[in-house]
Structure 1
Amino acid sequence: MTGLSRLQQAIARHSGDGFCATAIPRLALMRSEKPSNASASVFEAWLLVVAQGSVRMLLGTEHCELAAGHYAVTTVDLPLSGRIHQAGATRPYLGLALSLQPAMLADVLLQMGEQARDLPPSAGMASGTLCTQLLDPLMRLLELLEQSHDIAMLAPLIEREILYRLLCGPQGAMLRQLALADSRLSRISRAIARIRGTYIQPLRVGTLAHEVGMSPSSLHRHFKAVTGMSPLQYQKRLRLQEAHRRLANHQDSAARIAFAVGYESASQFSRDYRNVFGIPPARDAARLRHRLLHGDRLD
């Protein structure tokens, strides 16, 4: 039996339908027996592993498809749109997600003898192929779900090994920036947190740049390198994703929601919404509510 087959069986044994937390801190499992519609959400710093099936993700204009045996690493809060592409009753989509903690990454770096240094800007998401060095500790982490008395002692040690393997791999430079408090990526992460916390309010890029210790031009350049968007585009995407969520949850009319998420013009909101979701907000609200009522799958 291959390592990937063992990973598939372990996830299948311990996962339910959808995204499920586990007894191991920061570890979640995913399972679906059918393809899903595209859904937009903000991904924090995660290691996302596909064991079976495939998932398609969109960040800005960049597409990424993860097939079985592949993984993605995200290092900042990214507004991603994704959908499960390949899944079935006999071969469901199976995956796992491990939340990445900057403090733990920094501690591993110190143990590795790394010195703090700034690095060139890098994207906030990267993908790779599972290798034996990464697959083995992932399997050992999952096996702890059958030995719950060992989780408290062994899970942190195995998690550190996983982080070490990631730091030594192709995504190492990107993760080093996440761990180093004064790196450009850490500053962009602080800028992102500021935008997320105040996305309804007007965004003044100059003020934001000053808060994170960067010039406006440097903030714009590095922000786009990490997220694929400018700060203003990122704020707009957050507003539209929140509007999409509210429309699905029967929360008021499209025009009222537009103003509630920070838009000053309902017509501009409608244009932006259609550009992102491919359908006007009022029609999308009717479609989303029909799906919730009848359980239909809409492509």
Structure 2
Amino acid sequence: MHTRTPISQYADINDKETIPMKKTVATTSYQPSRVTELRTELARQIAIRSTTEGLQPTAVPGMGLFRRSVPSACTSATYEPSLIVFVQGKKRINVGRSTYLCDSTTFLLTSIDLPVVSQVVAATKESPNLGLALSLSMPEVRSLLSSDELPAAAQPSGTQGMAIGKTTPELLDACLRLIDLLDTPEDIPFLSTLIQREIIYRLLRSPQGAHLRAIATLGEQSHRTAKAVAWLRTNFAKPLRIEDLASMAQMGVSTLHHHFRSLTAMSPLQYQKHLRLHIARERMLNEGLDASSAAFEVGYESASQFNREYSRFFGQPPMRDIKSRRLTPIANPLTQSLTI
């Protein structure tokens, strides 16, 4: 049974000074020991509830808990808008040419669909890689942004679709309360919505929240670029005409290229190629397709071109890669698109 200090007693991790409090209440500055305490308890709760390898769905909508007891091979996936809170172990995530190293002190915020290659780099049976994954509702983000109570935040230059940040007491506490609901299933329909709304609020108030704001804010260039990303995500097998994509985003071609690369760390053509290769790999692995069938299903007109690009991207030819992956199986993901 764990106890927690009321949220009102915490100081904001991003403030340089202690938050002013009423004279009748003692002031509290940000204390690393408090973060450690909450992180340890969250790791304990996740370890108790995730007894098998991989990401496991829970009764709380959109929430999964994951465990990996050994380092993994590189895994391809597409991350949807989500929050991943890491509490133990280390994981490396590559998006285009950008690399994110996530450890027990960090969270990962993804605001658009992104094809990634990830790898657990530090995990043992005694100290497994543990964490919590939560899908983010963009309508809920927009609802919060429309609230007058939410303070405005500065817009960062070069907004990206993925950001890494340090976990705070407030965020860890909300995650613990979300996990606690698994003990009282009758409370989940009402309270999970409230707690998830609080988590989104915490993210929007964090330095990384500007990335989420930019995608959710209608009219912003990042939001219009995200529409182009969403179209490519849905129509990855169709031929790509950059002029049509720019028209959809209501931008010039060069402007779209600039903002698309800033958001995804890739050009539109690279994004489509990475997405096609990720999906082809998944279908060969899970549906038993041969390389030629997978190539044509994801939009390639030439099987030889697919083989060349696959080998360049994943390091070996398609069927050899699939054979080696089956020898070191990856646990089932929470969804077909999010693999932790």
Do the structures match in fold with TM over 0.5? yes
> Measured at CA, do residues 139 and 254 of structure 1 come closer, stay the same or move farther in structure 2, by a change above 3 Å?
same
The match for 2:65 is 29
Alignment partner of 1:266 out of 297, 303, 308: 303
Larger mean CA deviation between 109-118 and 264-273 belongs to 109-118
The match for 2:224 is 187
Q: Once superposed, what is the RMSD of the aligned Cα atoms?
A: 2.2
The match for 2:314 is 277
Alignment partner of 1:100 out of 129, 133, 136: 136
Percent of matched pairs sharing the same residue: 39
* CA-to-aligned-CA distance 1:230-264 (integer Å, 9 cap, x gap): 00100001111122123324644323432332222
Contact 2:154 2:210 in 1 (8 A): no
Gaps of 5+ in 2: 1-35, 330-340
Contact 1:16 1:30 in 2 (8 A): no
Shift of 1:39: 0.9
- Are residues 1:46 and 2:76 paired? no
- Are residues 1:64 and 2:103 paired? no
Contact 1:56 1:85 in 2 (8 A): yes
The match for 2:49 is 14
> Measured at CA, do residues 290 and 119 of structure 1 come closer, stay the same or move farther in structure 2, by a change above 3 Å?
closer
Contact 1:188 1:222 in 2 (8 A): yes
> Measured at CA, do residues 291 and 11 of structure 1 come closer, stay the same or move farther in structure 2, by a change above 3 Å?
closer
Larger mean CA deviation between 112-121 and 213-222 belongs to 112-121
The match for 1:297 is none
State the distance in 1 between where 2:322 and 2:211 align: 38
Q: How many residues align?
A: 292
Give the number of the structure with larger relative contact order, counting CA–CA contacts within 8 Å between residues 6 or more apart: 2
State the distance in 2 between where 1:253 and 1:28 align: 31
Shift of 1:206: 0.5
> Measured at CA, do residues 42 and 149 of structure 1 come closer, stay the same or move farther in structure 2, by a change above 3 Å?
same
> Measured at CA, do residues 116 and 10 of structure 1 come closer, stay the same or move farther in structure 2, by a change above 3 Å?
closer
- Are residues 1:4 and 2:39 paired? yes
The match for 2:21 is none
The match for 1:287 is 324
Shift of 1:178: 2.4
- Are residues 1:165 and 2:218 paired? no
The match for 1:91 is 127
Contact 1:118 1:183 in 2 (8 A): no
Q: Secondary structure at the match of 2:258?
A: helix
How does the TM-score come out when normalised to structure 2?
0.80
> Measured at CA, do residues 14 and 286 of structure 1 come closer, stay the same or move farther in structure 2, by a change above 3 Å?
closer
Shift of 1:115: 7.4
Higher helix share: 1
> Measured at CA, do residues 22 and 74 of structure 1 come closer, stay the same or move farther in structure 2, by a change above 3 Å?
same
> Measured at CA, do residues 69 and 119 of structure 1 come closer, stay the same or move farther in structure 2, by a change above 3 Å?
closer
